[in-house]
């Protein structure tokens, strides 16, 4: 399934709100069957650059966080947030992935990522 995903990225013009000074912000895009999703991704480029496995792992993790909670209050309690920023971002990712992939395809992607060793 991963091989069906067209993946591209470019360094973002503005490098603000980074996890650490060593991180770089990228604008990434996945395309599958004529549909696409563009998202931000950060990584330390001394160790790696964005790739489809790492990005899909991060996206699916965010989707799982959103999908596992009843509402924003439950999400914030579960993950220790005080505002709605992370909840809204995970919700956006969840909606996008469910638009691009079936549940079976998401499961298959997860299995392929696991085989890759993430």
The count of domains in the chain is 1
The residues pairing with 63 across neighbouring beta strands, listed in sequence order, are: none
What phi, psi does 38 have (nearest 5°)?
-110, 135
Q: Which pTM does this prediction carry?
A: 0.94
83-106: pLDDT as tens digits: 999 999 999 999 999 999 999 999
Cα dist. 100→1, 25, 34, 35 in Å?
Answer: 12, 23, 9, 6
**Full domain range(s) for residue 88:** 2-116
What is the percentage of the chain residues whose pLDDT exceeds 70?
99
Quick one: which of 78, 40, 86 has its CA closest to 62? Answer: 86
């Amino acid at each position: 399934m991963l091989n069906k995903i067209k993946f591209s990225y470019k360094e973002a013009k503005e490098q603000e709100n980074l996890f650490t000074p060593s991180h770089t912000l990228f604008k990434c895009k996945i395309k599958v069957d004529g549909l696409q999703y563009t998202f931000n991704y950060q990584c330390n480029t001394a160790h790696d650059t964005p790739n489809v496995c790492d990005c899909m792992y991060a996206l699916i993790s965010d989707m799982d966080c959103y999908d596992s909670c009843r509402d924003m209050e439950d999400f914030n309690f579960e993950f220790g947030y005080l505002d709605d920023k992370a909840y809204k971002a995970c919700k956006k990712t969840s909606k996008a992935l469910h638009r691009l992939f079936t549940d079976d395809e998401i499961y298959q992607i997860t299995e392929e990522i696991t085989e890759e060793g993430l």
